[in-house]
Amino acid sequence: MTDKKSTMKMTDHEMAGMPMPMHQTAPTPHQHQDHTMGDMDMGNGQMMHMGNLKQKFWVSLILTIPIILMSPMMGMRLPFQLTFPGSDWVVAVIGTVLFFYGGRPFFSGARGELVTKKPAMMTLITMGIGVAYIYSIYAVIANNLFHVTPVVTDFFWELATLIDIMLLGHWIEMNTVMNAGSAVDALSKLLPQVAHVQDAAGHVSDVRLDTLQTGQTVVVRAGEQIPADATILTGNSAVNESLVTGEAAAVKKTVGDAVIGGSVNGTGTFTATVTGTGDSGYLAQVMDLIQSAQEAKSASENLADRVAGYLFYAALFVGILAFIIWLNITSLAVALPVAVAVFVIACPHALGLAVPLVVARSTALAAQNGLLIRNRDAVEQVKTLKFALMDKTGTLTQGHFKVNHLLSLDSQYNDQQILQLMADLENGSSHPLATGILTAANGAHLTVTGASDPHQVTGMGQFGTIDGTTYGVVAVNYLEQHHLDYDHDQFKTLAAEGNSLSYLVSGDQVLGVVAQGDQIKPSAVTLVTYLKQHGITPVMLTGDNQETAQKVAQAVGIDQVQARLLPEDKERLVQKYQHQGKVLFIGDGVNDAPSLARADIGMAIGSGTDVAIEAADVILVASEPGDVIQFLSLARATNRKMTENLWWGAGYNLIAIPLAAGILAPIGFMLDPMVGAIVMSLSTVIVAINAMTLHLKKTA
């Protein structure tokens, strides 16, 4: 299989509950929240805590006040400014404290960038404030010790305000990242503080949520929040999963159904077996998705990094060139602020935020609406998507089969014996066809004991031994591959009614047949119509018979159908279509896993198998085809916001850098370093606001 997910596999396994090193403690969703949202990368791994950055800004702002009151702005003394003997030295001391205290995050970031030989934003900021500080100290010494004429203008006013603006920009950035994930952070707060645990004797006691363990039985009463991911043992209810799947309507839950921690129980009371706690629960997985989405690199972010690199060298070249030219034309006092303005205004601060902020917002919206995006590159692949290949059972259809016909094909067995043998073979299987057979056996009041040596042959059927005889429940593919005789006319008649057929075999004998019907999901037609309207060709790939597949395809509007496929056949067809364009594959079974991994975008139905979900890029929690539309719509909106932010983050430099270099000086316009800092920070604010305007429009 392809290695397209090699860069994300560790994150995926961790999300699925991979064992952690012995020295670590499995984090709770709240711990994930604190770590993810409490720190911020200040450049090449240099982390700064939110509280530290906030403190640095306020302290720096306070230190700026006396500097503003005692030093000239742009070389001009203002009426309210205070001057007294030694005031320049006071400003120099305060400015020095401010420079080293407020500038420390940028120095650390610059050091990290230079160590990795990738100078970018932090290096530019450090260069700008460093040059301004050194020159200002020189100005104070020259004016007060050597009494030079003309007086040398210092830049402490500009230096102080520049550091404040930079710190404020980073604070805004961090707040925006936190807000981008706030919708998902709120989910973790839905978990109750205690859970009602029932022991083997039926006694119920309350335990703290952090002590709850997988396998324990919990009691969930009417109106309570469900404490953890679980499977219902007894009772039934209607559960409100709106903050998890985005669906406002309560979902009916009964014995055997899965419930998600954080959702709200309705009027019924039920007991359930805990299946996920700590870092293995749904909410913790969502938090991991947010964190990994912010940390992982995508194609757009790599592009942003390259643009930032180009900007650094462009700014360095233009700044030095402008400095040399202005130094020769005028003086150092003029050349220096020009160079500083160029360095400051070209900082790729907003560019570095352009993609991550949109991704954080997009991931939060997706999770809030039942879309778990595990590979963020999947979002960018939507731009060039050409084909949507999809499984039939469980994807386009409900996957809830009902036995419509049960026939014995051997005189030694009656219909009930055929059903009994099939049920014993399928006992314990979660395949939709197996579930239909077991339901029929339960309805006939048969006692299902199971078979010895049960084993599955993927794409073929289920086998086992009963009373010393080996039997198998197989598809028609198995009959043909092993040249077993069966009634072709009977097969066509039953399949034409839309049934999926399973045969009971023993050796080379075909003993019986069961025909089961499925229902098409209401949103399947809407999905196919949407795909066609957006130039994406829908294709059905199924292991079912051609007649049934064709009937379902016709009902939902799919023209291209491939039936009676084995897992390797599906994967081969995915590769075939990839030669013509990008491919989305939607499936839910074990036999879909290779195709999900191979496709450019693998999308798993949330009710599918763990293997399929593990191989997918996107998971549909609600298991509805209509949610594919939500993902495609969100992906298009996300890509549009990314493009807009890349232009906001870098495009303004096309005008700003020449202005900072003094191209309009002949008409009397010079861009001050402080104004350059304001323009740069303004672009950051615009990028942040633009990312937060990303919304998901719900489709009908």
pLDDT tens-digit readout, 660-696: 888 888 888 877 655 665 676 677 788 888 888 998 7
Query: What pLDDT shows up at residue 24?
Result: 31
Residue 86: partners with Cβ closer than 8 Å, 6 or more residues away: none
Structural domain boundaries in the chain: 40-180+289-359+642-692, 191-276, 376-397+521-616, 402-517
CATH 3.40.50.10860 fits 402-517, yes or no: no
Q: In whole angstroms, what is the distance from residue 606 CA to residue 621 CA?
A: 4
3-state secondary structure of 657: helix
Rg (CA), the chain: 33
The per-residue DSSP string of 108-172 comes to HHHHHHHHTT---HHHHHHHHHHHHHHHHHHHHHHHHTS--SSPPPP-HHHHHHHHHHHHHHHHH
Q: In whole angstroms, what is the distance from residue 94 CA to residue 101 CA?
A: 10
The amino acid present at 136, given as its one-letter code, is S
Task: Using the structure block, give the residue that is written with the tokens 């972010």.
Answer: 301
Which of 288, 285, 237 has its CA nearest to residue 261? 285
- Taking phi first (over 0 means left), then psi (-120 to 50 degrees means alpha), and beta for anything else, what does residue 20 get? beta
- Degrees, nearest 5: CA angle 548-550-551: 65
Q: In whole angstroms, what is the distance from residue 567 CA to residue 543 CA?
A: 8
Distances (CA, A) of 290 to 99, 284, 362, 541: 35, 10, 9, 32
8-state DSSP, 412: T
So what's the architecture of 376-397+521-616 in CATH?
3-Layer(aba) Sandwich (3.40)
Query: What pLDDT shows up at residue 646?
Result: 82
Lowest mean pLDDT among 34-38, 350-354, 684-688: 34-38
| pLDDT tens for each residue of 470-510 | 999 998 889 988 899 999 999 989 988 888 899 999 999 99
Cβ contact 473:461 at 8 Å = yes
Q: What is the dihedral of CA 121, 123, 128, 134, to 10 degrees?
A: 160
Maximum CA extent, the chain: 119
| Number of C-beta neighbours around residue 389 at 10 A | 24
DSSP strand pairing (385-390 vs 402-408): unpaired
Query: What pLDDT shows up at residue 162?
Result: 78
**Residues 290-305, mean pLDDT to the nearest whole number:** 54
Lowest mean pLDDT among 363-372, 466-475, 630-639: 363-372
Q: Is 85 exposed, middle or buried (0-12, 13-18, 19+ CB in 10 A)?
A: exposed
* The pair of three-digit structure tokens given for residue 543, joined into one six-digit string: 């292991």
Phi, psi dihedrals of residue 609, rounded to the nearest 5°: -75, 155
Task: Using the structure block, give the residue that is written with the tokens 């970018």.
Answer: 120
**Residues 43-61, mean pLDDT to the nearest whole number:** 69
Phi, psi dihedrals of residue 664, rounded to the nearest 5°: -100, 15
pLDDT at 399 over 80: no
8-state DSSP, 600: S
**Residues 558-581, mean pLDDT to the nearest whole number:** 90
What residues pair up with 289 in beta bridges, in sequence order?
none
| Number of C-beta neighbours around residue 100 at 10 A | 11
**Residues 270-279, mean pLDDT to the nearest whole number:** 84
So what's the architecture of 191-276 in CATH?
Distorted Sandwich (2.70)
| pLDDT tens for each residue of 416-471 | 999 999 999 998 776 778 888 999 999 999 999 889 888 877 667 889 999 999 99
Which of 591, 188, 660, 644 has its CA nearest to residue 392? 591
The per-residue pLDDT of the chain, averaged, comes to 79
Task: Provide the terminal-to-terminal Cα distance of the chain, rounded to the nearest Å.
Answer: 37
Tell me whether the omega of the peptide bond preceding residue 150 falls within 30 degrees of 0, making it cis: yes
Query: What pLDDT shows up at residue 609?
Result: 55
- Taking phi first (over 0 means left), then psi (-120 to 50 degrees means alpha), and beta for anything else, what does residue 376 get? alpha
Q: In whole angstroms, what is the distance from residue 677 CA to residue 344 CA?
A: 6
Residue 530: partners with Cβ closer than 8 Å, 6 or more residues away: 629, 632, 699
Query: What pLDDT shows up at residue 80?
Result: 64
Residue 10: partners with Cβ closer than 8 Å, 6 or more residues away: none
| Number of C-beta neighbours around residue 54 at 10 A | 15
Could you list the active site residues?
A: 391
Query: What pLDDT shows up at residue 429?
Result: 77
pTM of structure: 0.60
Which of 638, 385, 390 has its CA nearest to residue 534? 385
